[in-house]
Structure 1
Amino acid sequence: MGLLTAALYACLIVYLGGWYLGEWHGNFSLLLFVLTLVTLVYWLAERLHFRPARERAAASVETHHAVRRNDLARQGIAEVDGNIDEAKQRLLMQPWWLDWTAGLFPVICIVFLLRSFLFEPFKIPSGSMVPTLLVGDLILVNKYHYGVRLPVINKKIVANEDPKRGDVMVFRYPKDTRIDYIKRVVGVPGDQVAYLNKRLFINGQPVPTESLGEYYDEDSRRYSQHFSETFGGNEHRVLTNKDAAPFIVGADDFPYRDQCSYTAEGVTCKVPAGHYFVMGDNRDNSQDSRYWGFVPDENIVGKAFWIWMNLGNLGRIGGFK
């Protein structure tokens, strides 16, 4: 069993190393699920087989020691050399391969359940959501806000709230579901969303917008036009680049693309049932629904709601709109 456990750990190290080096995309939910199952098998084996066997061995040693003492006592020998306590402790001691498997099961199981059904941490990898979220922000995502979903397969089993305009949502990238994206929900099923000449329109009505001057992005080291937008009952900030063209360059072929029309002014889309139109707050630095299409409901991961850490700026900790 020790060799088998060492081989399993070697496979885990290779998988994590390749993931870290970018040789392949990792699926942390699947990894946690597999680790939970494997450590559960070890935990059950420990409770049902290995620990009882060790306890029987320790009890046998104690029984034989007691028999030997009685035999010696009948011969008039009162003092017996040796102390079996150390031997019993060694027999009862859990081997390393059980310490690092069965011993970890409760922790891994709790993490798996919390991450699958309650809250999941994410790190913001790019500037597409600046100024709302900055590169390096560590955020929490509410996994049950949009309904309870089975881990790994992401199938909804209990409905809850539907995504609303203005929500900051984490979802599986439709072009590669192994990758998680984060954007703001702009259009819900049935909406007509238009982004024309860098102005957002929902169902034919312009979204209320107020200029806030310029915004300096320390990561990109450039100034952008800074605005506040209000829709979905909430106000949030967005950025645009005055030098960027309004039209969309390089839009992919995607499901329901016939619901979108592209012109020199921008794009207009009718959001199909069961889908959502999302955009980054950094409008000219975001690959989003304008380029790769709508987000299906089955791709939704959860609602982002809290920055729990930014190692470069502790003042970032807190909620966001």
Structure 2
Amino acid sequence: MEPTLYTNDMVFAETISRRLFRINRGDVVVVCNPMDPHTQICKRVIGMEGDIVCTNNKSYWIKKYEHIARGEKITSVQLFWQRFPIGHVWLEGDNMEHSSDSRLYGPVPYALIRSRVVWKIWPLSNFGSIDKCPTGRSHEN
């Protein structure tokens, strides 16, 4: 999650948003690792159920389903696409070149989300709310 979070950073995370289904695009969440359920990972929510993931074998991008439903054209580069299943989210790390995330293991069941990260509390010099994705990735349409 660098540069948003580093290995020794401490964060405050809450579980109420998860229980009330209030996790949104751009939120940083703690999730049971889909590849190893005995560990937890921290990733940013990029796509929600009903969104469509498109790939051209080199990159992935998300389209909100409403845009497709309104007749937005999918170009020939976007030949491979799939709508996220109900109850799943798409997770990515902010350091996309060095992140194991949904690009590797696909959409993640909402039930694996444990909490939403709210603040960075350590080191004190970086105390504050979690910033938006530095690449702007979580707000693409």
What TM-score do the two structures reach when normalised by structure 2?
0.73
- After superposition, the CA RMSD in angstroms is 2.4
Alignment of 1:115-264 (within 5 A): 129-147=1-19, 160-194=20-54, 198=59, 200-203=61-64
Between the aligned residues of both structures, percent identity stands at 30
Counterpart of 1:181, as a letter, is I
Provide structure 2 residue ranges, at least 5 long, that are not aligned to the other structure: 68-76, 132-141
Counterpart in 2 of 1:290? Answer: 103
Give the aligned residue type for 2:18: Y
* Superimposed CA distance per residue, residues 234-269 of structure 1 (whole angstroms, 9 cap, x where no aligned partner): xxxxxxxxxxxxxxxxxxxxxxxxxxxxxx99x744
Q: How does 1:16-35 map to 2 (within 5 A)?
A: none
Deviation at 1:271, TM superposition (A): 0.9
For residues 74-110 of structure 1, what are the alpha-carbon distances to aligned partners after superposition, in whole Å with 9 as ceiling and x for unaligned?
A: xxxxxxxxxxxxxxxxxxxxxxxxxxxxxxxxxxxxx
- Write the distance in 1 (CA, Å) between the matches of 2:101 and 2:125: 28
The structure with more strand, counted as a fraction of residues: 2
User: Larger Cα Rg: Structure 1 or Structure 2?
Assistant: 1
With over 3 angstroms needed to count, the CA separation of the structure-2 counterparts of 1:199 and 1:190, relative to structure 1, is closer
Equivalent position amino acid for 2:16 in 1:
Y
What is the CA-CA distance between 1:199 and the residue it aligns to? 6.9
Measured in 2, the distance between the counterparts of 1:203 and 1:276 equals 12
For 1:273, the equivalent position in structure 2 comes to: 86
> Which residue pairs with 1:318 in the alignment?
128
Instruction: Check whether the contact 2:29–2:42 (CA below 8 A) recurs between aligned residues.
Output: yes
Question: C-alpha distance in 2, partners of 1:181/1:195?
Answer: 24
1:177–1:299 Cα contact (<8 Å) kept: no
Deviation of 1:171 after TM superposition, in Å, equals 0.8
TM-score by length of 1: 0.34
* Equivalent residue letter for 2:3: P
- Number of aligned residues: 119
Change (3 A) 1:293 1:164: same
CA distance in 1, matches of 2:47, 2:35: 19
CA distance in structure 2 between the partners assigned to 1:179 and 1:134 by the alignment: 17
Higher relative contact order (CA 8 A, sep 6+): 2
Query: What SS does structure 2 have at the residue aligned with 1:164?
Result: coil
Q: What is the one-letter code of the residue matched to 2:29?
A: M
